[in-house]
Structure 1
Amino acid sequence: MPVAPDQLLRVPLLPVLAAQGLSVRRKTQLLPEPIGPREGRDGRGPRLRLLIAGDSSAAGVGAGTQAQALSGYLVARLAKHYAVEWQLEAATGYTTQDTIERLQGLSSQFDMAVMALGVNDVTRATTRRRFVERQTELLQFLTDTLGVRRLVVTAVPQMHRFPALPQPLAWVLGCQAARLDQGLQQVAANFPQARHLALDLPDDPTLAAPDGYHPSPKAYAIWAAEAARLLRQA
């Protein structure tokens, strides 16, 4: 497989990338995970056991409360049709491996799940091959052990569009994110329970949180609507 241009240029660009990475960490506003419940019951209708898991975006960073985050909007939409028993298992900084380890501590079974991972795998230089292996392990665990029958795997975000990231750092991370997402699509295609959700959001400043790195409540609402649509197709 030919080496991509960003991979060829990563070594000569390393001093610049390192300096920009440190600057982003120093200047970017650190937002907390939102307050609010991380499990509950809502709605009426057929029983639906829902799991939401992943990194800081799954945890809702960028929103003030869980009601304004992915979990809140998603549960609100599904509760119009189901008696939703939901659980959020997510944390800032989580990679795919971190999520696997966290979910292995669960004893519950779930009907549906929404995953949001990839950014931290990108920033920790996870290769596409290793990412595919870990995502395959994760989806296998979700479907075999936790009993998930309908699964939405959210695309690895388009990091080249993050307002907080300067060039060429945004370009390098964006290329790596795109490679990992291609691998994620490959993994999802191997599981009949899974659907890959690509969020191609417009260039609207109101869709980004103040840190320029996470979604805003408006973006979470769009994301939840699309995830609910895919889940209800089951």
Structure 2
Amino acid sequence: MKHHIVTLGLAPFLVAQGLYVRQKTPRLPEPAGPRQGKQGTGPALKLLILGDSSAAGVGAPSQQLALSGQLVEILSASYNVSWMLAAKTGYTAKDLIDLLYGMPQSPFDIVIVVVGVNDVIKGTSQTQWQKQLDQLIQLSIEKFGSPRLFFSGLPPMHLFSALPFPLKWYLGKRARYLDDILSKHLYRYTNCQFLPMNMPFEPAYLATDGFHPSPNAYTVWAEALAIEIVKEAL
């Protein structure tokens, strides 16, 4: 209750800070490069990456150095990977649901979902978040032939250097809240796995905008995902 009272009192200031950050923070583009392809030798592995700007690779100079490129590079050492990236800056869980509705049915073995930061920023409620997670999972099952779904945890937004205090405190609390809901909600599903965002959020792991991952962060993230995907594929 105390947290909600403090937040309510800070609301006008938080809104002003948010507008200021939006104006002053450089808007990095989604990097150029292929968003689908086939790479490697060995057993076939069909991979789909869904999500927001981090899934789209913002903060990296190319898709090769972003999450998709680095993950496919690792997996292709052991698998013949057919992969696809469907991600866009600004996407919320609701946007991903709309995207999935428009996608054709196609089998995938692994689906990686990266979402939540924009839900934090836009104030998605607990009820909305849980309902939309259920929709994302159900649609993925219907569209992609019951794949294994890996949901990346939300990053520690209170460590984003682009955000001033108290905005970083507020968004950090919101991110931890949605992240906790996500990790617990996925226990309901045998085909879903939660991967916490475990990496050092030091300057070298943040892009020049102080908000998105750097290529170093994408490396750590891709390696962690690859370990879990290989475990599942064995």
TM-score band w.r.t. shorter chain: over 0.9
Q: Whole-Å Cα distance in 1 between the matches of residues 51 and 230 of structure 2?
A: 21
For 2:131, the aligned partner's letter is E
Residue 156, structure 1, aligned to residue 154, structure 2: yes
Aligned position for 1:135: 133
Matches within 5 A, 1:106-125: 106-107=103-104, 108-125=106-123
Alignment of 1:67-216 (within 5 A): 67-107=64-104, 108-216=106-214
Q: Cα deviations across residues 9-65 of structure 1 (Å, max 9, x unaligned)?
A: 121101211111111001101000000010000001111110001000000000011
Distance 1:203 1:85 in 2: 31
Asked whether the equivalents of residues 37 and 82 of structure 2 are also in contact (C-alpha less than 8 Å), the reply is yes
Please give the secondary structure, in 1, of the residue aligned with 2:45: strand
Name the stretch that deviates more: 192-201 or 72-81. Answer: 192-201
Q: What TM-score, normalized by structure 1, do the two folds share?
A: 0.95
Cα RMSD after superposing both structures: 1.1
CA distance in 1, matches of 2:65, 2:3: 36
Equivalent residues in 2 for 1:54-73, closer than 5 Å: 54-73=51-70
1:195-219 CA distance string (max 9 Å, x none): 1111222242100000000000000
Between Structure 1 and Structure 2, how many residues are aligned? 231
5+ residue gaps, structure 2 = none
Q: Kindly provide the CA deviation profile for residues 56-106 of structure 1, in whole angstroms up to 9, marking residues without a partner as x.
A: 000000001100000001101111111110000000000001011112222
Runs of 4+ in 1 over 3 A off after TM superposition: none
Q: What secondary structure is seen at the aligned counterpart in 2 of 1:58?
A: coil
Gaps of at least 5 residues in structure 1 are none
Q: TM-score scaled by structure 2? A: 0.95
Q: Which residue of 2 aligns with 1:29?
A: 26
Shift of 1:149: 2.7
Distance 1:104 1:80 in 2: 33
Q: Is the 8 Å Cα contact of residues 6 and 172 (structure 1) preserved in structure 2?
A: no
In structure 2, how many angstroms separate the alpha carbons of the residues matched to 1:15 and 1:201? 33
Amino acid across the alignment from 1:227 = L
Q: Give the aligned residue type for 2:224.
A: E
**Mean alpha-carbon deviation: is it higher for 206-215 or for 176-185?**
176-185
* Percent of paired sites with the same residue: 44
